[in-house]
Structure formats: structure tokens, C-alpha cells
A and B are shown apart, each in its own frame.
Chain A
Amino acid sequence: MHAADVTSRPTRSLLTNPTLRSIAYQVALCSAVGFLGYEAITNAADNLARARIATGFGFWNTNAGFDISQTLIEYSSHSSTYGRAFWVGLLNTLLVASLGIVFATVLGFVIGIARLSSNWLVAKVAAGYVELIRNLPLLLQLLFWYNAVIKGLPEIRDSLVLPGGGFLNNRGLVLPKPIFEPGSGVVAIAFLAGIIAAVMFRVWAKRRQALTGRQAPLLLVTLALVFGLPIFVAYSIGMPVGFDVPQRGRFNITGGIEVLPEFAALLFGLVLYTAAFIAEVVRAGVQAVPVGQVEAAYALGLRPKIALRQIVLPQAMRVIIPPLTSQYLNLLKNSSLAVAIAYPDLVQVFAGTVLNQTGQAVEVVALTMAVYLTISLAASLAMNIYSRLITSAGDAP
């Protein structure tokens, strides 16, 4: 016992020592989680053994034996495996999500800018759209589009004929299908070359405008290069690209590309729903740009459209992009509602049919979650890098 120690430092009970306490809390938490995990695993092993359900990914290479209504890669019920079914489902999810993202972005920007329109009526209609869509559950909207709208379309016999030779009926949408004959590769090359030339022309025109102030007919030249060039090439070598226009029979429609009604309803519902959220993101982003920027642009004599495109949107994009990405992720996650209207996406095929057939809930659900989690984490990683770039470049003039 050293008396000096006692006077210089008051004794503290070990109970109130912050370091010890925090170590104790963490040990308690870790052991609680560890105990729960251990219990879960042993219980699962017991229950699975009792129900005679296999474990592990052995099912991956066994024959699936069920049909999928939309397959982007080759798949057949009698020769394809569960693993193949997984990829089919994943590709279907990615298809609907990527198309959805493109359309929702376009529609969302239009509506977001319409909400800020100087035209009172346009602004109110856009606001009404956003309020209505955002306050209704997506599932209800999907069921409405699928069960009430698409199922309410006419029968095949009375299909609605679309301009350009498509048909719309209660079994989906049939569109003309492009047919590529030998020689169509040249047209594809011409199309790519047209795009590259158009981009180069734009860069040149911008530089020239910056130097001399002379403008070039950008839109006209771009259209001519991107569409005119391949069409010209196709004509000159004798039309290697044709269209298989669908023909309507009494009971079915032959030829063309068939778009599943489930796909159409899901895409339509997702686009309308996400566009309302993107519109709000865009509106907030545009409103974050100081009013002085627009006033200065007008004072320089820029017209509203050009001021919006050249001054406001580039600055707003910084604010818009992070929440826009999370809306894209929401769209991807919401595409899993496909299961309610039986569109064969990842969840419907894998966590639905495959799970029911194999009974291997743990593996199937874990793998499904892992897919979404990977995409989400990759996107948020990209966003972190992006916002670091923005903040480091943000203060520079």
C-alpha cells in the first residue's frame, strides 16, 4: 500500500472504469451475437436434417425441369440446370431495371423541370402527378397496370394496331423484329462510325464556337451522321436489314418480337413510380442552384432554354447525382415486386420456383440477397468516390 498513490489519484472502482466498461459491453455483445448465430446454425442443421433437405450448392448443377416465360439466354426445362435458371432470372432483372432506369430518368427530368415551369398549369399538373404517384404503394400500381389495364385490353382478334406494324392485346405487345442478313455487319459498322463521327464533330464545333463564336448546325449533322449514314449504306448494298412484321391470325399472332404483358406492366409501373421520385430529386437539385446564376445568365442575354442547359443543369447535377443513384438502386430493388405479377425476374425464378422445388431456403435466399447487396454496395462505393472527387474539385473556380 502506497499512501502517495492514493492521494495523487483517487481510487476508481473497476466498475466505473470507462475502458473496462466498454470492453465488457463489447464482449457481451459479441458473445450474444455469437450465441444467437450458433443457436441458429445448430437449429437449422437439426431442422434440415429432420426434413431431409440437402445442404450446400449441390442443386446448382441438377436439372431444373420448369419453364421460364422469358429467357434472354438459351434455356429449356428438360436440359437446363438450376444454375442456368439463376442466370436467366438475373438477366431478366437486369433487363427490366436497365430499361426502367433509362425511361424513368427521361420522364423524371421532364416532370422535375415541369414542376418549376413558369406556366402555372404545367407546374400544378406535374406536382399533382408527383403527389398522386408517391402516395400510392407500388404494388397496388403494378397490380392495377397488370390486372386492370393490360388484362382489360382487347382479345387477340381485336388487337389494337400500332403505327409501324405492332399489335397490342391482352396477351402483351408484339413488335416488328429486325432481321439481320449477311452484310448487316457493314451497316452496324456504319452506325458505329456515324456515332463516333458525330461525337468528334460536336467536339470540333464546340472548340470552334469557343474560338470564333460561330455556331454549327449540330442537331442536323448529328442526325445525318447517326441515322443517315447507316441508312445510306444499307440502301447502297441492297437492304441487308429487314423487319419481320407480325401477322395477325385468328387465334394468334405470328412473327415479330413478343413482349410479355408482365414485362410491359412491370416496366410501365416502375418507370411511372420512379419518375415521380426522380422528379423531386431534380427539382431539389435545380432549386439548389442560386437564383443569381440564372439572373446572370439572363443578363448575359442567354435564352431560358440555353440558360437551363448550360448554366443551371450542370451545377444542379452535382446535387442531383447522389440521390439519383439511390433512386436507381430503389428501382432495381423494387423490380423484385415482379413476383406479384409473375414476371420471371431473379426473385420470382430463384427465390420463388427454385426455392419451392429444392426447399433449400438458406442457400437460395442468401444468394438472392447477395446479388442485390453486391450491386448496392458497388453503387455506394462509386458514389463515395464521386462525392470525394466533387468536394475536392468543388471549391476550385
Chain B
Amino acid sequence: MTTAEGEHAIAEAAFVQRAQVTALPPPLAMRGVWGWLRANLFSSWFNFWLTVCMLALLGWIAYVLTEFLFLDAVWTGSDRNACLASEQHRGIGACWPFVWERLNYFTYGSYPIPQRWRVDVFFAILAIGVVWLLWLDAPRRDIGAFYFFIVLPIASFILLHGAPMLGLTRVDTALWGGVLVTIVVAAVGIVVSLPLGILLALGRRSHMPAVRLFSVIFIEFVRGVPLITVLFMASVMLPLFLSEDWSPDKLLRALIGIALFASAYMAEVVRAGLLAIPRGQDEAATALGLRFWPRMRLVILPQALRVTIPNIVNTTIGLFKDTTLVFIVGIFDLLRTIEVARIDPKWAAPVTSTTGYAVAAMFYFVFCYSMSRYARHMELRLSAGGRGRR
């Protein structure tokens, strides 16, 4: 029997498909919305009940929130009576007229009303600096860094604190408050802590034993104690250590405390970035004849800071949340203005507290969440090999 005969015999014996058959779609239960639901929500009885419980929980949260923030909320009124429960209005939600009336207080504190435009200008120039620094494709980012770390602090100080020579009346820091103080504390914290943190991180890796020792002691000491004790130290011990005629005001003391505290954390973040840079970079730069500072400025730090941007942003989020602690040493930051406003007899009502805290929560969440999204975006960009991009 030849092969041709054999093939013929097989073809006789059974039907053989000659063309490729298109695959059948997966069964209905495994595709589309139904399949997704089955795989991700109802894959077993346990998961079924878990999903039901979660849906119930989410539904309850959504119901409570909408009821409090919108359905039962009070929208008009001039004092606490509008926000008190009464016979015809049992369940009372958020007290929005309270927020509306106190919005300026929450933003500027007791900053004199005719001078508040200066605060607005400060917010604007700060926003320009932040965008310039964070937007990686922005033009001339070197000027941006100079603007953020040198021009901006000086300009802001003149603008906010006043300069009689330029026609800006002096505004005592005791009058500052609200969002203004929160932003000032956070901004000073970041502007001081980044350079100081870099110095400390370099000091910790230095070959000079004394420099290394001081850096390690400072970093470990600050990281080992709570921020509150550092703030206590800055506010009660600092005036003792300085001679009487040179006593810093209350806000400045808190700023020094926050800045030193943030520097220690920033130093550890920068150190992690320095560790990520291969030794060869430093050795090659040395071989080219660069001295220490040019080597750091031109070769090591640009690379180290770049890989550690996500961590720097995360530390900044922590710093931003920690600014609320100045509350405890008597500075009127946003949280404290809310605290003062909510117990003010004009508006004190059971729902006022929750309304105030809800406003604060929204403010902090918007800032911190957008910063954390930015950090994640940077992380993706760096891990995708964006390191070479300019």
C-alpha cells in the first residue's frame, strides 16, 4: 500500500476538516459582564457573602454621607439656631452657613482685611513655584529651583510680614492664621528641610568622623522623638537658650522646630537615593578631576535626587499632615481656626463640629491625595526607564 492509497483510505474512513475552524466564544458564564462578576465578585459562596456585606457597607456609607452633606444639610441661616434640631426638623446635617461665614477666617485667620490681597498674591507666587518645580518638562527648571528656594522665600517674607519701606504695613505673625499658616509652615518646612537634609545625608556619608558623628546624632535623635516634644523644645526651651534681646516670635519658633524635624527625615530619604547611585559614578567624577562640591552638584545629587523624588514627595505629605501639630503649641493653623470657630457661641451646635472637621478633611485630603498621585506617577515614570529623559 502506497502512502497516497493510505491517505485516500483515511479520507474514506472518516470526515477530516480541511479548513481551520474558528474557535467558539467562551461560554456565556465566563465572558462579558456576567463572567467578570462571577470571576471577581462571586467566585465562591464565601466571596458571595463578602461581596454582599461590602455592598451593604458601601451603601450605608454613601447613604450616611449624602444624608449628612446634602439631604439633611442646612444651607441658609445666620447663627446657630438654623443648625439646631427642632420638632419639624429632627435630623440635622451639615451646617453650611457656618462654613460660608467663616471661610475667610479659615483662609486668612485674623490677617487684616484690607491687606488680604497680599496673602492671595503669596498663594499665587507659591503655586507658580510648585508647578515649575514639579512639572518635569517645564522650561528652565534650574531657574525654577532658584526661584523656589531663594526668590520665593524672600518675596513671601516681605509680602506677608510687611516692609514699611515698600509701603507694605507690618502684619504681626500673631494675626496670621488658617490655610495661610498651614501653607507657610509646610512651605518653610520643605524649603529648609531639603537643603539641610541633603547636607545631613552627605555628612552621614562623610569620611570626616566628627562630621559623620554630628550628622548621625542629629538624625537619630530627631527621628527617635515625637514631633510634639520637638515643638515643645522649640517653643519653651529655645527662648531660654537665646539671650533675652533676641527672642524669636511664636510662629518662628514653631517653624524652626518643624524645619529641623523634617530635615532629619529628609536626610534619610536623600541617603537612600545616594545609596542607589553606583560607586563608579563618584569614582569616575573623581578621576575627571572634579572636587567634592562640583562632583556632588554635577554628578551625584542630580541622579540621587531624581530616583528619590517619590520618597521626597511622600515625606512632604507626612510634613503637610504634621503641620497640624503646631495647633498644640498655640499657632492658629487651619485646624485650630476650625477648632476656635466651632466652639464660638454664635455657631456652637451639635453638628458644627462635624461640619468643621469635614471641611478640614476635604482640604487635607485634596492636597495629600494629589501629592500621592504625583509620587505614584513619578514612580511609574522612573521605573519605565524615564531616567534618561530630560
Contact = CB atoms under 8 A, between A and B. Distances in A.
Interface of A: 22, 25-26, 29-30, 33, 39-40, 43-44, 46-48, 50, 117-122, 125, 131-132, 134-140, 143-144, 147-148, 151-152, 333-334, 336-337, 339-340, 347, 351, 355, 361-362, 365, 368-369, 372-373, 376-377, 380
Contacts of A372: 224-226, 229
Given A361-B240, A365-B232, A373 B221 contact: yes
B372 A336 contact: no
Nearest to B37: A120
B209 interface: yes
Given A140-B324, A152-B350, A368 B210 contact: no
Interface string B41-61: 101000100110011011000
B241 interface: yes
Nearest to A138: B321
B239 to A, nearest CB: 8
B127 interface: no
A144 B357 contact: yes
Nearest to B228: A336
A119 B322 CA distance: 35
Range of interface residues on B (Cβ < 8 Å): 35 or more
A50 B354 CA distance: 46
B225 A135 contact: no
Interface in B31-75: 40-41, 43, 47, 50-51, 54-55, 57-58
Contacts of A30: 210
A119 B360 contact: no
CB-CB nearest 6 A-B residue pairs: A376-B224, A120-B40, A135-B368, A26-B210, A40-B241, A333-B226
A362 B353 contact: no
B367 to A, nearest CB: 8
Nearest to B246: A43
Interface in B259-307: none
Given A29-B210, A347-B226, A372-B224, A135 B369 contact: yes
A339 B223 contact: no
Nearest to B326: A139
Interface string B239-259: 111111000000000000000
B44 to A, nearest CB: 9
B224 A135 contact: no
B220 interface: yes
Nearest to A36: B241
A43 to B, nearest CB: 5
Interface string B136-158: 00000000000000000000000
20 contacts: A29-B210, A39-B241, A43-B241, A118-B40, A119-B47, A120-B41, A121-B51, A135-B364, A136-B361, A137-B322, A139-B327, A140-B335, A143-B335, A143-B339, A148-B353, A334-B226, A355-B232, A355-B236, A365-B233, A376-B223
A337 B327 CA distance: 11
Interface of A is mostly: helix
Contacts of B228: 336-337, 339, 347, 351
B183 interface: no
Contacts of A365: 229, 232-233, 236-237
Contacts of A362: 237, 240
A365 B228 CA distance: 10
B360 A140 contact: yes
A125 B58 CA distance: 8
A31 B368 CA distance: 42
B354 to A, nearest CB: 4
A25 B55 CA distance: 65
Nearest to B220: A377
Contacts of B128: none
Given A119-B50, A122-B54, A347 B229 contact: yes
Contacts of B8: none
A368 B236 CA distance: 14
Nearest to B182: A137
Contacts of B243: 43, 46
A369 B214 contact: no
B317 interface: yes
Nearest to A120: B40
Given A40-B241, A140-B324, A362-B237, A369 B365 contact: no
Given A368-B229, A377-B224, A118 B47 contact: yes
The CB with the most chain A CB atoms within 10 A, among B40, B43, B225, B321, is that of: B225
A380 B224 CA distance: 10
B237 A337 contact: no
A26 B208 contact: yes
Contact of B324 (A43, A137, A361): A137
B328 A339 contact: yes
The CB with the most chain B CB atoms within 10 A, among A26, A131, A152, is that of: A26
A132 B327 CA distance: 22
A46 to B, nearest CB: 7
B325 interface: yes
Given A25-B208, A362-B240, A365-B237, 7 more contacts: A29-B214, A30-B210, A39-B241, A140-B360, A152-B353, A340-B327, A347-B232
